[in-house]
Structure 1
Amino acid sequence: MSHSSRRLAPVGVLLLLALAGCAAPPAPSASTAAPESDAHGRIDGAAEVAEPALGLTSIDAGGRVSHLDLLDETTAELGVVRAPAAVHSDGRYLFSADDDGVSIVDSGVWTWDHVDHFHYYRAPARVLDEVAGEGVATIATSNSSTSGGTGVFFPGSGEAVLLDTEALSKGEVVEKFRMTTTAGAGLVAPVGSFAAVAAGGEVSLRAADGAPLGPTTPCIDPAGTITTRVGAVIGCRDGAVLASVEGDQPVVEVVPYPPGTTAPRATAFHNREGRPRVAALAGDVGIWILDTRARTWTLLPAPEPLVQVTAVDDKTANVLALSAGGRALTLDGDSGAVRAASVPLVSESLAAGLPVTLVADQQRAYLNGPAEGRLWEIDFVDGARIAREFTPERSPLFFAETGR
């Protein structure tokens, strides 16, 4: 598949990248690579544990935040945020957005990826401060919860904000920059020590202080972003922009859709955290698979109407999907064929238009049913079997798997 690229290496960029320290920790060959941190993701007050401290952190319709520990199945109440309209998570923090800004929750559990091994941490969970803005923000995170940046874009004002993720890990909300762009659709994708800001029909690279770093790249109607081991994906009308770091130089590449494509574009990307392949719905037509390592798009047929897809990107190329009828499906990532299916689980929530999320890790998938008042753990390899079912005290309008 064709793609184009451009290297940008102003002196200021090289200096910033040299001083940046540890960014999202990818594979040695990945273009987001950065100098190793001796801390290995550790922060003051955190305890390193022997296994991932996995949990399901949820927010109900009234903004009450709860954390279900998946190891001992106990539940803790973490506090209250404003009623959420959308929630994004990086596996540690939950960013709860409404018309007036973003409330930030620290689940207190996270994994630091050192490529060939991992470090697992637990610290006190807490509700942090808020980031004010106009309109329900789009949030973009990296693969590190203790370094780099977190992007926030407010569509009402066109304000693009880059938060300091290292400061977040210490309980502080610090803005590296806040700049005004064009109101409407947009996003801020953190990449290493800089950020890619998509707004006004283009993507511009920015230093940590917001200074421009070179020519812009066209991107009409930006929608959807995700970070893989390779770099940050930004969905555009004609394909994707992939922003990354190779050595000490920022690189922007355009990965266009295949020639002659008539399928609807991708507008939301999902995967098992950090993996190079991501999945997105192609409207009602099929499933887009974007391989950020190969810089290729593949269109798979949808076996039935779907509302969400996520790429597990494991040895058997599993793709998970949520059907319009509320079933969790395990699909063949090479053909789109159904390998396994659960019974209908969230049909009531989907019929009511409530937000339902299907999250995948290496071994399990998790699903919330706001109308059903349930959370499910699904063994997607073993016939989409329901491994555990939880009935939380408060119905989970939004949730995230945390600690991964």
Structure 2
Amino acid sequence: MLHPLLPRLFPRLFPLPFVAVLALTGCAATGSAPPPTADTHGAIEGAVELAEPALGLTSIDGEGRVSHLDLLDETTVEIGQVRAPLAVHTDGRYLFAIDETGVAVVDSGVWTWDHVDHFHYYRADPQHLGDVEGGGAATVATSNSSTTGGTGLFFPETGDAVLLDTEALSKGRVEESFRLARQPGPGMVVPVGSFAAVASADEVTLHRSDGATIGDSAVCLDAAGTITTRVGAVIGCRDGALLVHVEDERPVVERIPYPEGVPAARATAFANREGRPRVAALAGDLGVWMLDTRARSWTLLPAPEPIVQVTAVDDADANVLALTPDGRVLVLDGETGAARAASVPLVGQSLAAGAPVTLVADQQRAYLNGPVEGRLWEIDFADDARIAREFATERTPVFFAETGR
């Protein structure tokens, strides 16, 4: 997500005033991408297949220096340098570092191939792959696959809607499948299998990977927020959400309206454990929106206290994780909203300073960064939100992503 108070935290990086354009991101990936016809199980030439996921925390500091912390042996390696970002988006392998002039693409070198009933794990050399030029802080949307399908970028100043070839990224090349001209302003390009949905000017159009239009357009007022589940890609709209998925080798759009008579604010950003069907979003001051993409339904959960960030683990216990204004991690019951556990305050200073704090979850752990505190934390949310590990980093983790998943 975009953090307009970064100039206050790192003034020498931003010597001139600027207007930050809100970037729509998610700790989880966006756009569905089924396995290719010739099933390679995610293997790429030069990559080593592993017996278990090579999980790590890949971070970018305030000057754009990229490093990777291996969560198995706790060693850190330097990957390279990008322009100081305003926001970072990830799909669990790549980091897309966003600034006002484009998007830098960093390959963490670790990823998981989800084959639905089993997984394959890989490691390759990490590297800065290159940059995509554009005007204004882009919205980035990714799929659940880091070796197939596409990656979407929308540049608000110029209205450029770009689809990158993700298979080319996996082979070290930054290649555009299409670049379409749209009205300047908010928008997004959401990958959906071998297709893409482009949201701009209150309309969503469907496209082949070469940019050709396919099917009918759909109305989506004030599109904001996107995420992917096993079911399809979600695009947030003023009146609910659009679910875009592939049936009979064609993209299909379904509308999931909000429940009638519920006065909560709309969802504008979604987060979950990667690929899971249920996703979470803030519902203003009233609590948490839970969107079940399998059931095509919304549920409003009351929050036990004010929260500023939320993500759905969507595990057997229906855990939902939330962040409080004073920097505690809450574990909530995803069926009732009741608090199950809470950590000690961790990132209160960062939240008070407006620093870009991110809370992400996988099946067993949650991870949190504190730019002001200069720390990264691993939290065992199933064990009363216990702090499992604390990492004191040499460089300030302004942005980070859990990679290898």
- TM-score for both structures, normalised by structure 1: 0.91
**Where does 1:238-317 land on structure 2 (aligned, <5 Å)?**
238-317=239-318
Query: CA separation in 1, counterparts of 2:165 and 2:396?
Result: 32
Q: Which residue of 2 aligns with 1:117?
A: 118
Letter in 1 for 2:295: A
Q: Which residue of 2 aligns with 1:4?
A: none
Q: Which runs of 4+ in 1 moved over 2 A?
A: 31-38
Deviation by residue 1:244-302 (Cα, 9 ceiling, x = unmatched)? 00232221001010112211000000000000000000112110000001100000011
Deviation by residue 1:88-137 (Cα, 9 ceiling, x = unmatched)? 00000000001000001000000001111100000000011000001111
The 8 Å contact of residues 194 and 207 in structure 1, kept in 2 or not, is answered as: yes
Q: Which residue of 2 aligns with 1:171?
A: 172
Q: Which residue of 1 aligns with 2:213?
A: 212
**Where does 1:1-400 land on structure 2 (aligned, <5 Å)?**
33=34, 35-400=36-401
Q: Which residue of 2 aligns with 1:16?
A: none
Query: CA separation in 1, counterparts of 2:285 and 2:98?
Result: 27
1:356, CA displacement in angstroms?
A: 0.3
1:37, CA displacement in angstroms?
A: 3.7
Deviation by residue 1:12-67 (Cα, 9 ceiling, x = unmatched)? xxxxxxxxxxxx9xxxxxx8645554310000110001100000000001000000
The 8 Å contact of residues 82 and 103 in structure 1, kept in 2 or not, is answered as: yes
Letter in 2 for 1:383: D
In structure 2, relative to structure 1, the CA distance for the partners of 1:71 and 1:249 (3 Å cut) is same
Query: CA separation in 1, counterparts of 2:396 and 2:116?
Result: 36
Query: CA separation in 2, counterparts of 1:37 and 1:109?
Result: 22
Deviation by residue 1:337-360 (Cα, 9 ceiling, x = unmatched)? 110100000000000000000000
1:84, CA displacement in angstroms?
A: 0.6
The 8 Å contact of residues 42 and 120 in structure 2, kept in 1 or not, is answered as: yes
The 8 Å contact of residues 32 and 244 in structure 1, kept in 2 or not, is answered as: no
Query: CA separation in 2, counterparts of 1:35 and 1:251?
Result: 19
Report the RMSD for the aligned CA atoms in angstroms: 1.3
In structure 2, relative to structure 1, the CA distance for the partners of 1:276 and 1:251 (3 Å cut) is same
Query: CA separation in 2, counterparts of 1:35 and 1:178?
Result: 23
1:214, CA displacement in angstroms?
A: 2.0
Query: CA separation in 2, counterparts of 1:189 and 1:32?
Result: 11
Instruction: Give 3-state SS (helix, strand or coil) of 1:394's partner.
Output: coil
The 8 Å contact of residues 238 and 256 in structure 1, kept in 2 or not, is answered as: yes
Instruction: Give 3-state SS (helix, strand or coil) of 1:198's partner.
Output: strand
Query: CA separation in 1, counterparts of 2:259 and 2:369?
Result: 35
Instruction: Give 3-state SS (helix, strand or coil) of 2:349's partner.
Output: helix
The gaps in structure 2 that reach 5 residues or longer are 1-28
Instruction: Give 3-state SS (helix, strand or coil) of 1:173's partner.
Output: coil
Residue correspondences, number:
376
Query: CA separation in 2, counterparts of 1:161 and 1:175?
Result: 7
Q: Which residue of 1 aligns with 2:8?
A: none
Letter in 2 for 1:78: I
The gaps in structure 1 that reach 5 residues or longer are 1-23, 25-30
1:387, CA displacement in angstroms?
A: 0.2
Query: CA separation in 2, counterparts of 1:374 and 1:250?
Result: 43
1:303, CA displacement in angstroms?
A: 1.3
Percent identity between matched residues is 73
Instruction: Give 3-state SS (helix, strand or coil) of 2:350's partner.
Output: helix
In structure 2, relative to structure 1, the CA distance for the partners of 1:380 and 1:37 (3 Å cut) is farther
Deviation by residue 1:317-355 (Cα, 9 ceiling, x = unmatched)? 000111111001110000111101000000000000000
